[in-house]
Structure 1
């Protein structure tokens, strides 16, 4: 509803009767650019992602099919992440030159945000994947977020070139070779550099990236809990809390995951965004706005053009 009021055309995919009943609770919904598309089946959060192969009428399959057919500019799902990735791959396919798509997200950092990928699509990776993701993320930031020549860091346990696992050392060599050819490679970065904003982009494997993402989100909640406890511990701190309430609200806004809405599955031949299952209305609205911005920027076409030349070979 909020996104539609902002001018975004929305196709709601799911059980028609239930969706119309829900829309009917909101005054003015009939006048908004919202259309319901029937999908009687749904892949539940406790079901297997591989079910997308046999359940063509599941809502996520209907959703990605709308993108492939050109009826929708992007698929946005707050449901089963694995099913969303599987459906996007099966229905839309990969951009030529991409071995594995990656989930890209933004983490609040000094000076704005740091772009991190992969955050969960690929637990086991090859060095060439990281080099490909660096190219993809560079194009994404340039055309969607207006960051010219963004810097890329490789997550490791030390800044020195030789530090890290065999995978990281090999990826470092590929990224160094790609420097100046679509990638502005800074070098290795450590975990603390992500929130410092040392580089615009940080690439890592999906296992490590997901741990980093969940740690950052969890730590933010714990820290705000500590702040609330401290500000409510004495009469003097309560008075101080009233004085800083506005500033703390601004800080909470920056650290709220709903600010970014959803994460893009980068590398498939169609825009696909994956959000939290616990997403609120604000997160859904921002996800749809972000999807529209990516579509208007012709992101997929620009990604394909960027990878049309020579890309690092898989090993």
Structure 2
């Protein structure tokens, strides 16, 4: 079995969380970054979300990859597949199968902030692809892209529509940072959820079983655990809605009643009025023309654009071009 190399970059996780909590919860409109959903429990909850009947993005993207992974292999001749925010890497097996069959793939580099989730996924991949070098990188894909290993040509896969969690300015910075670590002619495979009717979108982020609500409130549990806060999770309710002007879903936590929270690890006390909101996530939805324009501005040329049969989700294969 291939030995798994887990490369962990030094991160002051408590310090990052402290800084985000102080910045977000002292703002006029309170906010928290969605990356803090993802401890071990949060990662498990998100995997459950992907299996919900209301949550179409995972199934839609899987349909595209099942149909087009062979095209990705043929067009890229990739020696290295890099996956950002790898999670369970389940959909990536479609790419691994195609690239392995194509005969060019030498290594797989999954990057994820959750060491436990990454180790589990990397071990499973190594067991099923014994000829493949598997080198997991524990890190934040907004900070550690310049440290990604792998032999050129590389394909960087950023799937699941996660690009939509960035605000427009943040997206531009992120895409530029990906381009900076790639040589000319290397590739980005990008998954983007597409604009569609309000009902479908809102149901996907407010499921009947309440899994998304539990996932949303997990950010408060993380702050309790890591910074010694005393958030009462029952004092906040999950809210999501479609912002038609900006074309993104917004997720919020709304205080059910007036509450004051002590956060010793951030040297902070926060007061919430009844009905006050914390924004925990945006999930932007895209149109093909917008995706192509944003990629072009970052130094990529879209070579292929694919959607699922219902045209709910887009996957673009873009080549890095001369600056």
Shorter-chain TM-score bucket reads under 0.3
Larger radius of gyration: 1
TM-score computed with the length of structure 1 as normaliser: 0.24
Q: Which structure: greater strand fraction? A: 2
